C-alpha cells in the first residue's frame, strides 16, 4: 500500500513537471525559412524568425473572457504536430489550383482552450480555439506584434472603425507613428530588407482586427460590440453605432477564432501571388459551378453621360432606354454584365422600382443579348428583409447584387457578410460587397462573393488626389493580399500629376497614363471588374476595346516577372492559351525589360503591345499600339512614363 502511494506520488510529480516544463514549442515552414515559436511562462508568448533572423520578438497573446483569461498562468496539457500536403482546387482565381502545404503545432492548455500554429512557405499564423460548454463573452483579445528594430510602415490609417477607403500613410519607423493611431489590416512593415505583412483570416462572427500603436509597440484592437444603433450617415440609410458594450464579442464557447497572420519575405515578387489569407479561410461551403465572374459596363463613375448615345443621358436621364444603350455596348464588346447603381429603386424598399427604370424588361433584354445585370442596394435595407428581397431578385432574373454601405466590422456587421452570401448562394446570386471592410477569405467558402471594395478606388478621382499611381503600387503589396478589390478602373480621361483636377459632378478623369490604367486589369485581382468610363469613350479607341474585350477577370496561371515594393510591378497571367502581361510604375518613370522565357518553347504568339507614348509624361492619354510576334526568346524593353504602364496581349 505504501509502495502504491509512493508510485502515485512519483507519477503526479512527473506529470506536474511535464505539464510545466514542456519541450521546444515551434513549427517550421516546409521550405525551412520560417519558424514560429511559443514560450510558456506567466503568459503565452510567440516569436517569428525568417531565414534565421528574429523578425518578431517574444509577443504576448491572450483571449480575455468574462470569467477567465486564456493565456494567464497557462499550463500545457499536451501538444501534437501534423504535416499537411494538399491541393486546393479553385472555382476561379489567378491559378487553377493552390499548393496547400503547411506544418502545424497544436498546444492544448488546461482551461479548455488550445492554440493552433501553422507555418507555410508564405507566412505563419496562430489562432485560439475554445472548448467551453456554455456561451462566452470576449472582453478583449491581446495580440502583440513586437518587431525587431524600428521598421518603416505602410499604414492604411483610420481614426474610426467604419472606413476602409483610406490613403496609405508611409512612416519611416514605428516610433514615428503617434500613440493610439490605428490602421486596418493588411499593414506592411519593412526592416533590414525584409518586408512583413500582418493580416488576419477566417473572421467569422467576430470583429475585424486593426493594428494600433500603443506603448511604443504594435497591438491588435477591435470594435466593441454594438449596444445601440440607428440609421444615419449617408442619407440616413447606414447603420451607425451610437453606443457600445464593454466587450468585443458574445459567441459560442466551442469554436475557433480568427487567424493572426504574418507574411515575411525578402523577395517583393512573392507578395503578388501570396494567397495565405485565402488558404487559411473556411473551405468551400456551396456548389459554385454557376458562379460566372466577368466584366461590367457601369454608369455611376461618369455620371451616366454618354455623349454619342443619340438619346438624353446623364444621371437625371437614367431610364430603360439609356440602360438598354449600355446593354448594347456590353453585348457588342463581349462584356458579361451591366451594373445598375443607386437610383433604380426606393432605397428603403427594394421592391419599389423607379418608374423610369423597368428592371424586369432590362433583365430580359440583357439576357437576349447575353448580358446579365447586377443591382445596387444598401445593406441595411437588404438585411432587414433578406429572404423576401433575395427571392424577388431571383424571380426577376438578376445575376447579382452590389451590397453597399455596410460601413462597420464589429461582430454583428461581420455576421451580415456570411448571412448575405449564404442567402444569395441559395438563389444563385453573386455578391459584390461595397462600402465594406477588407476581405478575410470568406470568398473561399462562398465564391459567389465576386468582389469587395475596401480600397480607396477610382471614385475618389471625383473628389481628391488620393487615387494615384503611388497609391496603386501600395495597394498591390498590402490590400491585395487580403483578397479581391473593387477599384473600378477603366478611365479613358487620363491626366498627369500636374494637370489632374477632381471633377464632380460631370466627367471625371484619373491620374496616371492610359497604359497605367489599362494595366490594372492584369495586376489587380478583381473577379468582377468594372469598365468605369462611358461607352462613348471606349468607342473612340477600338484597339483598346480589343484588349478590354479579350482580357478575362480570372486566370489559369500567374507569373510575377518583376516587382519592387511601392515602386513597380510586372505580372503575366494566362487564360487558356492566351497570356496577358501588365506593367505598372508609381509616379517615377522607369525603363524595364519584359522577359518572355516563361512562354512554351517553340510557340510563336501574335502580340498586341500597348506602350506609353513618347510624350506621355506631359499628355497622359498618349499611347502607342503595335503588333509583333513574340516567342520565349523575346525580351521587350519598355519605357514607362511617370505614373505609366504597359500591356502585352499574346494570342494565336
What is the set of active-site residues? 404, 459
Q: Are 224 and 244 in contact (CB under 8 A)?
A: yes
Query: What contacts 38, CB < 8 A, 6 or more positions away?
Result: 25, 26, 44, 45, 46, 105, 107, 115, 117
Kind and range of the H or E run holding 325: helix 320-332
In degrees and rounded to multiples of 5, residue 46 shows phi and psi of -120, 160
Do residues 571 and 582 make contact, with C-beta atoms less than 8 angstroms apart? yes
* Residue 361 phi, psi dihedral angles, 5° rounding: -65, -40
Whether the CB-CB separation of 136 and 59 falls below 8 Å is answered with: no
Tell me how far apart the alpha carbons of residues 68 and 468 are, in angstroms, rounded to a whole number. 48
Q: How far apart are CA 305 and CA 356, in angstroms?
A: 17
Query: Which residues have C-beta within 8 Å of that of residue 21, sequence separation ≥ 6?
Result: none
CB 423 within 8 A of CB 383: no
For 98, the grid coordinates are 493552390
Dist CA 7 CA 18 (whole Å):
16
Q: Is the backbone of residue 399 left (phi > 0), alpha (psi -120 to 50) or beta? A: alpha
C-alpha to C-alpha distance for 427 and 432, rounded to whole angstroms: 15
CA 561 to chain CA centroid, nearest Å:
22
CA dihedral for 299, 304, 307, 312, sign (positive or negative): positive
Amino acid at each position: 500500500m505504501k509502495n502504491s502511494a509512493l508510485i502515485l506520488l512519483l507519477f503526479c510529480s512527473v506529470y506536474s513537471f511535464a505539464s510545466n516544463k514542456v519541450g521546444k514549442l515551434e513549427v517550421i515552414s516546409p521550405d525551412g525559412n520560417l519558424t514560429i515559436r511559443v514560450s510558456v511562462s506567466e503568459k503565452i508568448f510567440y516569436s517569428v524568425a525568417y531565414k534565421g533572423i528574429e523578425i518578431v520578438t517574444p509577443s504576448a497573446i491572450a483571449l480575455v473572457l468574462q470569467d477567465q483569461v486564456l493565456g494567464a498562468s497557462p499550463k500545457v496539457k499536451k501538444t501534437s504536430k501534423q504535416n499537411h500536403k494538399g491541393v486546393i482546387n479553385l472555382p476561379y482565381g489567378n491559378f487553377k489550383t493552390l499548393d496547400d502545404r503547411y506544418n502545424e503545432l497544436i498546444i492544448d492548455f488546461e482551461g479548455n482552450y488550445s492554440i493552433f500554429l501553422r507555418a507555410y512557405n508564405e507566412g505563419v499564423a496562430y489562432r485560439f480555439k475554445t472548448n467551453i460548454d456554455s456561451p462566452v463573452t470576449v472582453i478583449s483579445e491581446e495580440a502583440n506584434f513586437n518587431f525587431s528594430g524600428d521598421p518603416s510602415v505602410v499604414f492604411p490609417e483610420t481614426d474610426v472603425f467604419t472606413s476602409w477607403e483610406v490613403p496609405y500613410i508611409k512612416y519611416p519607423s514605428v516610433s514615428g507613428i503617434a500613440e493610439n493611431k490605428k490602421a486596418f489590416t493588411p499593414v506592411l512593415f519593412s526592416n533590414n530588407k525584409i518586408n512583413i505583412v500582418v493580416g488576419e483570416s477566417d473572421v467569422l462572427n467576430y470583429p475585424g482586427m486593426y493594428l494600433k500603436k500603443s506603448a511604443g509597440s504594435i497591438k491588435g484592437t477591435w470594435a466593441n460590440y454594438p449596444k445601440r444603433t440607428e440609421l444615419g450617415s449617408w442619407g440616413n440609410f447606414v447603420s451607425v453605432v451610437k453606443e457600445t458594450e464593454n466587450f468585443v464579442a458574445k459567441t459560442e464557447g466551442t469554436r475557433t477564432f480568427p487567424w493572426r497572420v504574418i507574411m515575411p519575405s525578402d523577395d517583393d515578387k512573392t507578395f503578388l501571388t501570396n494567397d495565405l489569407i485565402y488558404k487559411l479561410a473556411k473551405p468551400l461551403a456551396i456548389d459554385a459551378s454557376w458562379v460566372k465572374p466577368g466584366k461590367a459596363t457601369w454608369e455611376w463613375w461618369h455620371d451616366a453621360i454618354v455623349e454619342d448615345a443619340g438619346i438624353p443621358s446623364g444621371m437625371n436621364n437614367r431610364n430603360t432606354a439609356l440602360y438598354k444603350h449600355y446593354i448594347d455596348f456590353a453585348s457588342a464588346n463581349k462584356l458579361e454584365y451591366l451594373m445598375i447603381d443607386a437610383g433604380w429603386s426606393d432605397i428603403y424598399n427594394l421592391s419599389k422600382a423607379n418608374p423610369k427604370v423597368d428592371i424586369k424588361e432590362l433583365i430580359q433584354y440583357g439576357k437576349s443579348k447575353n448580358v446579365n445585370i447586377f443591382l445596387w442596394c444598401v445593406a441595411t435595407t437588404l438585411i432587414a428583409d433578406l429572404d423576401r428581397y433575395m427571392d424577388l431578385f431571383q424571380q426577376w432574373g438578376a445575376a447579382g447584387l452590389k451590397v453597399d454601405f455596410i460601413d462597420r466590422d464589429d461582430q454583428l456587421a461581420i455576421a451580415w457578410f456570411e448571412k448575405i452570401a449564404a442567402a444569395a448562394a441559395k438563389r444563385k446570386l453573386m455578391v459584390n460587397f461595397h462600402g465594406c471592410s477588407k476581405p478575410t477569405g470568406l470568398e473561399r467558402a462562398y465564391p459567389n462573393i465576386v468582389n469587395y471594395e475596401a480600397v480607396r478606388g477610382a471614385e475618389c478621382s471625383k473628389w481628391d488626389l488620393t487615387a494615384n499611381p503611388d497609391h496603386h503600387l501600395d495597394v498591390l503589396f498590402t490590400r491585395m493580399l487580403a483578397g479581391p478589390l473593387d477599384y473600378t478602373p477603366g478611365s479613358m480621361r487620363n491626366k498627369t500629376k500636374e494637370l489632374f483636377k477632381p471633377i464632380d459632378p460631370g466627367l471625371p478623369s484619373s491620374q496616371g497614363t492610359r497604359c497605367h490604367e489599362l494595366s490594372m486589369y492584369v495586376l489587380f485581382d478583381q473577379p468582377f471588374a468594372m469598365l468605369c468610363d462611358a461607352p462613348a469613350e471606349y468607342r473612340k479607341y477600338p484597339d483598346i476595346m480589343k484588349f478590354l474585350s479579350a482580357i478575362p477577370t480570372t486566370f489559369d496561371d500567374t507569373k510575377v516577372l518583376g516587382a519592387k515594393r511601392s515602386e513597380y510591378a510586372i505580372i503575366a497571367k494566362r487564360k487558356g492559351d492566351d497570356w496577358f502581361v501588365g506593367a505598372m510604375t508609381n509616379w517615377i518613370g522607369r525603363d524595364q525589360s519584359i522577359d518572355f522565357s516563361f512562354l512554351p518553347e517553340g510557340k510563336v504568339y501574335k502580340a498586341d503591345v500597348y506602350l506609353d507614348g513618347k510624350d506621355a509624361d506631359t499628355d497622359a492619354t498618349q499611347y502607342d499600339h503595335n503588333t509583333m510576334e513574340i516567342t520565349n526568346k523575346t525580351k521587350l524593353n519598355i519605357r514607362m512614363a511617370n505614373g505609366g504602364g504597359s500591356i502585352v496581349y499574346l494570342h494565336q
